[in-house]
């Protein structure tokens, strides 16, 4: 099933192309004009080509496994968490806040490049994680100063949602069908549109549409966004399984790790925001 995940885009559709297909050692069509001897065989005394590959030789491309996905995703999260921890613990608060906005902007541009060019590269994914870690460290520190302990609550909530959706996916309680995928992607674009409209209206009306002012409507909107982000994890999990089924190369796991990182960061920030609303009431 072609994926509709906006982060992965066309990446998966290209991931499995060309793998597992046999060709001549030169990559072209077999040559039928070579001299033939005896019963249609080539010269038995001719030396074998050094480029010829035995049909029993191992394939040159190593296919992606679930272990690849787990390892690359774990490493990406580790880099992000370490970057956030260093920003929070070692950098002065003013410097951390000063670096947060540039880090977000650079990470946003890098993320768009990774998504649209389907870059499956450890440097790109880990750099994205490190940049967003700087922003997360500064944001988390600011929230924790106002609401002590809120960061730990948000981390526990994020891990709980991630684990819960993984269990739901693995048990088959919710199956990722084309219809469900369309609903999730549509909801994601709907949330994005509402956020942008709220931002624009906020320039003219204090509080905008009231989606981010901490009131009842803000709480409801945050719950909806958390739900959409949680269901987006199902698309990420399904993407990993589908890439493995299609025989994607091992390096494609970095692309999947990037997608999971984007979704989990989004989920954490929205849970952090929701908890701040609840503590204000």
Task: Quote the pLDDT of residue 12.
Answer: 53
pLDDT tens digits along 217-242 = 999 999 999 999 999 999 999 999 99
Alpha-carbon distance 131 to 79, whole Å? 10
Residue for token digits 């709480």? 219
What does 40-74 look like in DSSP terms, one character per residue? TB--TTSPPPTT---TTSPPSSPBP-HHHHHHHHH
pLDDT tens digits along 180-222 = 999 999 999 999 999 999 889 888 888 788 888 888 999 999 9
As a whole-number percent, the residues of the chain with pLDDT over 70 amount to 78
Alpha-carbon distance 251 to 68, whole Å? 8
- Backbone φ/ψ region at 202: left (φ over 0), alpha (ψ -120 to 50), beta: alpha
Nearest residue to 251 via CA among 79, 122, 130, 73: 122
Alpha helices in the chain (DSSP H): 11-15, 66-90, 93-117, 122-146, 150-171, 178-202, 216-246, 253-280
pTM of the model: 0.78
């Amino acid at each position: 099933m072609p994926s509709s995940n906006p982060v992965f885009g066309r990446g998966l559709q290209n991931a499995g192309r060309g793998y597992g297909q046999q060709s001549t050692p030169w990559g072209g069509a077999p040559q039928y004009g070579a001299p033939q001897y005896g019963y249609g065989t080539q010269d038995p005394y001719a030396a074998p080509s050094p480029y010829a590959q035995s049909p029993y030789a191992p394939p040159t491309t190593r296919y992606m496994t679930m272990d690849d996905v787990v390892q690359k995703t774990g490493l990406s999260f580790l880099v992000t968490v370490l970057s956030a921890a260093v920003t929070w613990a070692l950098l002065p608060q003013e410097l951390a806040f000063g670096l947060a906005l540039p880090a977000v902007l650079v990470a946003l541009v890098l993320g768009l490049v990774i998504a649209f060019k389907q870059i499956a590269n450890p440097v790109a994914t880990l750099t994205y994680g490190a940049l967003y870690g700087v922003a997360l460290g500064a944001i988390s520190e600011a929230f924790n100063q106002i609401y002590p302990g809120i960061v730990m609550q948000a981390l526990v909530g994020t891990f709980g949602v991630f684990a819960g959706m993984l269990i739901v996916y693995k048990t088959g309680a919710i199956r990722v069908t084309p219809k469900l995928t369309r609903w999730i992607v549509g909801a994601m674009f709907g949330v994005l549109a509402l956020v942008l409209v709220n931002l624009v209206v906020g320039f003219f009306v204090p509080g905008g549409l009231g989606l981010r002012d901490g009131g009842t409507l803000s709480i409801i909107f945050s719950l909806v966004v958390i739900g959409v982000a949680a269901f987006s994890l199902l698309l990420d999990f399904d993407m990993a399984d589908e890439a493995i089924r299609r025989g994607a190369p091992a390096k494609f796991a970095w692309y999947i790790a990037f997608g999971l990182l984007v979704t989990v960061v989004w989920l954490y920030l929205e849970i952090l925001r929701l908890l701040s609303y609840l503590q204000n009431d």
